[in-house]
């Protein structure tokens, strides 16, 4: 069943609701969670003075992170007179001032004019340590040729997770996902020997439907689907001891918007609505990392959403993080691909980082306590 778009909301009212995170779970969502044997939690903030309740942070302070891709413009910037931090030393110091405790890398280079050469992983590690920051992962190129080198860098930076910003394969076919699983299982074994977890990061296409049913095309490839989604197929092929996942929450909700229909083996169109919460809650121990990326619903756009700073959009992070499992076992990295403001607003990405951290810190769950 296709979702009915919400009526337009006054921007001030939207900001009040999203920033304070008091959206309630829908009845349909609650029923689905209950049917799956998962907890159905209230996402409303209790009245001030309610007795017998204690507040807990949905994302503990030590787990609040940022992927540096969001501030890539300032990491890569040459020294300038804008007054905005540039390069690893200044940008990471600012990130720490904002309150972030963890960072996820998206490359290890800065402008060579800062040092007269490229910075080294050892120098970056010192900057992390000096600012009380922990590297929780990376978006590197994951392949058999360079994996040892990537693990060396990750270990220098103190990472417990090593990953990529792309899917294991872009294919629609099970055979290619089988081959990807074989490679990732082997690389995951290697990572585990070095004390790291190997992870892959999704975009919306990862949750589109696998082509795994006949009839077949001229090359013997299936043209229809059983209804299983690509990454869900990979879950079953990748060894849970060696292969892990970083859910990009924004792209998961884009998948919910975009990938609803498939053609079954008999030629009938079927509808299946993807649920990002159930996707994680059913296998929470396989998702150590998340991209906390927000967006406003806009059905006029191809993706159905437009990226915003965290807490300023329509994605219900309160409901999401309440439901998926132990808060101490997840790392939430804020990301906004569109954060850089360019030459006209060089401070925008760091301003958005500040706003997103504030909103992340306000995510709270209320529990009965002693």
Q: Which residues of the chain have pLDDT under 70?
A: 1-52, 369-370
Structure tokens belonging to residue 170: 């872009």
113, 112, 69: which is closest to 91 by C-alpha?
69
Helix or strand or coil: residue 224?
strand
pLDDT at 53: 74
Name the CA radius of gyration of the chain, rounded: 21
pLDDT at 327: 73
Cβ-based neighbours of 275, under 8 Å, separated by 6 or more = 29, 32, 256
pLDDT at 35: 53
Cβ-based neighbours of 108, under 8 Å, separated by 6 or more = 119, 121, 124, 153
pLDDT at 319: 93
Q: Is residue 357 part of a domain?
A: yes
Is residue 237 exposed (0-12), middle (13-18) or buried (19+ Cβ within 10 Å)? middle
Helix or strand or coil: residue 332?
strand
Expressed in percent and rounded to 5, the helix, strand and coil fractions of the chain are 35, 20, 45
pLDDT at 329: 80
- Give dist(CA 259, CA 274) in Å, integer: 8
Note the pLDDT tens digit of each residue in 270-323. Answer: 999 999 999 999 888 999 999 999 999 999 999 999 999 999 999 999 999 999
Q: Is residue 343 part of a domain?
A: yes
Among the residues of the chain, which ranges form H helices? 11-20, 27-35, 72-75, 87-98, 121-130, 147-156, 174-193, 230-237, 249-258, 276-281, 317-323, 348-361
Structural domain boundaries enclosing 331: 59-364
Note the pLDDT tens digit of each residue in 129-163. Answer: 999 999 999 999 999 999 999 999 999 999 999 99
Task: Return the CATH number at 341.
Answer: 3.20.20.150
Q: Is residue 9 part of a domain?
A: no
Q: How many domains does the chain have?
A: 1
Q: Is residue 171 part of a domain?
A: yes
- Give dist(CA 74, CA 17) in Å, integer: 31
pLDDT at 94: 98
pLDDT at 369: 62
Q: Is residue 369 part of a domain?
A: no
Q: Is residue 233 part of a domain?
A: yes
Q: Is residue 258 part of a domain?
A: yes
- Give dist(CA 175, CA 112) in Å, integer: 43
Counts for the chain of helices (H) and strands (E), in that order: 12, 16
Q: Is residue 250 part of a domain?
A: yes
């Amino acid at each position: 069943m296709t979702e009915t778009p919400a009526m337009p909301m006054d921007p001030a009212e939207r900001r009040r609701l999203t920033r304070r995170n008091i959206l309630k779970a829908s009845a349909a969502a609650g029923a689905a969670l209950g049917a799956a044997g998962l907890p159905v939690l209230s996402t409303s903030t209790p009245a001030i003075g309610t007795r017998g309740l204690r507040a807990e942070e949905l994302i503990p302070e030590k787990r609040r992170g940022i992927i540096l891709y969001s501030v890539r413009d300032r990491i890569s910037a040459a020294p300038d007179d804008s007054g905005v931090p540039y390069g690893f030393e200044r940008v990471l110091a600012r990130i720490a001032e904002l309150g972030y405790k963890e960072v996820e890398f998206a490359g290890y280079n800065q402008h060579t004019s800062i040092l007269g050469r490229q910075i080294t992983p050892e120098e970056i590690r010192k900057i992390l340590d000096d600012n009380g920051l922990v590297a929780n992962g990376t978006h590197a190129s994951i392949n058999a040729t360079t994996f040892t080198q990537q693990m060396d860098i990750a270990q220098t930076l103190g990472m417990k997770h090593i990953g990529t910003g792309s899917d294991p394969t872009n294919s629609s076919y099970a055979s290619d996902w089988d081959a990807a699983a074989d490679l990732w299982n082997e690389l995951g074994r290697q990572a585990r020997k070095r004390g790291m977890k190997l992870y892959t990061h999704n975009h919306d296409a990862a949750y589109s439907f696998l082509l795994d049913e006949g009839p077949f095309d001229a090359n013997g490839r299936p043209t229809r689907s059983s209804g299983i989604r690509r990454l869900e197929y990979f879950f079953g092929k990748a060894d849970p001891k060696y292969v892990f996942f970083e859910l990009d929450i924004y792209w998961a909700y884009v998948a919910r918007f975009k990938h609803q229909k498939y053609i079954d083996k008999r030629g009938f169109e079927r509808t299946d609505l993807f649920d990002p919460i159930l996707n994680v809650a059913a296998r929470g121990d396989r998702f150590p990392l998340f991209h906390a990326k927000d967006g406003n619903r806009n059905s006029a756009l191809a993706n159905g959403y437009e990226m915003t700073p965290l807490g300023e959009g329509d994605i219900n992070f309160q409901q999401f993080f309440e439901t998926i499992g132990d808060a101490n076992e997840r790392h939430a990295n804020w990301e906004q691909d569109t954060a850089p403001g360019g030459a006209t607003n060089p401070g925008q990405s760091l301003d958005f980082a500040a706003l997103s951290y504030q909103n992340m810190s306000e995510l709270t769950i209320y529990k009965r306590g002693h």
